[in-house]
Amino acid sequence: MQRRLKSTRRAASWVAAAAVALLTPIEPMPDAHAAARRPVDGEALISAADDLTDWLTHGRTYDEQRFSPLERINTGNVKNLGLAWFADLDTARGQEATPLVIDGAVYITTAWSKVKAYEAVSGKLLWEYDPKVPGEAGVLACCDVVNRGLAAWGHRLYLGTLDGRLIALDRETGRLIWWKLTVDRSKPYAITGAPRVIDGRVIIGNAGAEMGVRGYVAAYDSKDGKELWRFYTVPDRRGANVARHLKRAEATWKGEWWTLGGGGTVWDSMAYDPKLDLLYVGVGNGSPWNQAYRSPGGGDNLYICSIIALKPQTGEYVWHYQTTPGDTWDFDATQHIILADLQIGGRVRRVLMQASKNGFFYVLDRVTGQLISAANYVAVNWAKGIDVHSGRPIENPDARIDKTGKPYVVVPGPGGAHSWQPMAYDPRTGLVYIPAQEAGFPYVPEAHWQGAAQGFNTGIDFPAAAMPADPKVRAAVMAATKGALIAWDPIAQQERWRVAFKGPWNGGVLATGGGLVFQGNAAKEFVAYDAVSGAQLWSSSVQTGITAAPVTYSIKGEQYVAVLAGWGGIWALAPGILAEVAGPVRNVSRLLVFRLGASAQLPPESPVPLPPLDPPATTGTPEQIAEGARQYGRFCGGCHGDAAYGSTVLPDLRRSALIADSKAWASVVHDGVLRDQGMVGFANVLNLQQIEAIRHYVIKRANEDKALGLR
């Protein structure tokens, strides 16, 4: 068994093409018109809870509660909410960013790491910035070419780009001030998360654990991008770890994990407590998923799937809590982290809360990391519960596919019971509002797995887990795949109300002082609910799915609610037919802004464009088709859909004219002639015979679906 990633892994070809942008140092430029604007400084961010005008940081406040006291829009008048303005975007991929609102301007990032600024009342475009992320960088991201937002400090804005740059822009003009390459470009790192800034330190992690990288989070000087500290989340080769926390972690790993990267990327959630001066980060899954390959012999594999407290000035380790020790199911702990003070057991506790991907809601003491309580907020079968004394899950041995070597349908699956979509906490109701989902997954260990230089490296046999062309099986699985907005009492660890959705992958959440909870969904609606009862009070059709979280702001006494709309992300791409549980959704990327009494109208909705399902006849041999299924599941399904059932976001290969032309197909899949559009070639991991086998598999799948009368 080959345990080492191919030594031929090299920097992607686009590095050379983008050498000027990536490798030529840029001297920091002065800010334009700085004196005309108020700076966003530590005082402003620490007191952001009292700011009734702006939305200064990703979660509105350092504690990431996503609650605004604004009450001009409330349960009594929300029925009068209307569209004030909208702005169409030029990136028809997933939109996941939380807007910032500062001094009368709305700032957003879009797919492909672009930035736009709008006048907050009228929607007038003020400026836009394109970092020109090469299309080939799309292969670096597991889960669409998304970006979740900006950070503000002083008179500047900061963002991470998909290709691993940290960029500083002038807030007034959008002019580039400096950039810093934060990753080793010879490895498949990407950035999709929003930075945070603490005392002039811009903090950002990265993604890539599915591909085979070693995770870390780092701080950079806001003035010039100089790296100030770097905190690795998993140990390096045995005996090479100097940092004390990594020396302790080394004993929890087996084998030669460093040859596979290890994983543990910090790709999304962070929160900060200024009084304790502690930064909290969520750490992702191990690489590969299957622990039998990553760490043969087991072990907790610190610090994957953990919440870690750090000193933001130095990156010093303070404490950790591991939600899923020795994870083998892709149960990241990168979900939204919320800080609050709760009355528990007769005294006020400073707590940290997370609705984890693994299905359990955790309440931790954020001073010490001690587990206070945990309970499942959706159905789970990988564990019977969490032992409150040890803090460890009480695992179901049958779910340990790395130890049994046998397939098992685990609930929740790798999409998680809660993914990156932010939740919200309303201190007035005492409830946390969770965008939850319920979907299992058949984890099948991949026999004789070997790491590859490109694509997913999970150790899971995706082809064996693919949806069969069986209407009864499909119907049963789709019926069991659901979504919900859950109002959760974190003290009692109980559900107070639930709004059920047809399918998963619904949007992030905002709670307001008007007694409202706002959320967009996969059914093309933006909705306001009563925060106490869950009753739907208002909705607006938005023509596309919403996964991003809303924000609210006030200008001259008028309250606005803004949200990015645009269908995409991993659930919109990878699950095949399951992505359509709530119906087929077309991507229409827009920024939408609402206020009371407004009456703007969206253009008429266009139908979902569907080329005919008219494939050539199936001519591949059974052996070819079986080989094609194996290779498709490993290298293609993450973007083009499980069992070649494509989305409305990326090309549906069953309908592609390329499948009728072997040479044209090879020119794309092998040679990469469409690399600038994001479709790189796979010549370094697939030979021409395997690529031809994939074509025959896609043809077979297209004919199966045509025979079933599917779209």
Active-site residue list = 330
* Residue 86: strand pairing partners: 592
C-alpha of 178 from chain center: 26
Residue 498 has φ and ψ, to the nearest 5°, of: -145, 140
Separation of alpha carbons 87 and 118, rounded Å? 9
User: What b/e readout covers 111-126, taking b as 16+ CB neighbours within 10 angstroms?
Assistant: bbbbbbbbebbebeeb
Count of alpha carbons within 13 angstroms of residue 337, beta-carbon side: 30
| Whole-angstrom distance, CA of residue 25 vs CA of residue 21 | 9
Nearest to 127, CA basis, from 136, 118, 135: 118
458 CB neighbour count, 10 Å cutoff: 27
Distance CA 288, CA 299 (A): 14
DSSP state of 240: -
Asked whether 268 and 295 are in contact (CB, 8 A), the reply is no
Rounded CA-CA distance 581/594 in Å is: 28
Q: Which two tokens stand for residue 681?
A: 């070639």
For the range 275-278, what are the long-range contacts, defined as Cβ-Cβ under 8 Å and sequence gap of 24 or more? 276/350, 276/366, 276/367, 277/311, 277/312, 277/313, 278/309, 278/310, 278/311, 278/312, 278/318, 278/366
- Using an 8 Å Cβ cutoff, are 155 and 176 in contact? no
How far, in Å, CA of 606 to CA of 702, rounded?
A: 25
| Distance of alpha carbon 665 from alpha carbon 153, whole angstroms | 48
From the list 294, 212, 254, the residue with the least C-alpha distance to 1 is 294
Question: What residue type is assigned to position 543 of the chain?
Answer: Q
**CA 324-329-332 angle, 5° bins:** 55
